[in-house]
Amino acid sequence: MDVVGIGNDIIEIDRIKKAIERNKNFKYKVYTDKEIKYAEKSKFPYNIYAGRFAAKEAISKAFGTGVRGFLLTDIEILNNELGKPDVILKNEIKKKYEETEIMVTISHSKENAIAMALIQKR
């Protein structure tokens, strides 16, 4: 399989926490309803939000475009039954990358969330 792109991102969890607390619309511009529901069930919702944000940024870097031509809510990251984050693309970005597989990994420390994404052709 051919690699289309790789990307990574790191973000301070507190930065996402402050953005959510300052602007109630921030969540809805960045996260899907399913992502919000998942995060809000957690004991550490801001870790989840920051990890998802880092993953979306890593994916946009792997696209080679950054966040251009799509919304962050067009990328949805949900955990499967084993806890592995799965990437679901929506709208135009889904059409553009329908022949690819996107893999992402997310990790957290006390202060930061980091993600790495790999896109390859099927």
| Residues tagged active-site | 61, 108
Nearest to 94 by CA among 117, 74, 67, 120: 74
Asked if 50 and 108 touch (Cβ cutoff 8 Å), the reply is yes
Question: Could you count the other beta carbons within 10 Å of the beta carbon of residue 81?
Answer: 5
Which helix (H) or strand (E) segment holds residue 86: the answer is strand 85-89
DSSP 35: H
CB proximity list for 105: less than 8 A, separation 6 or greater:
85, 115, 116
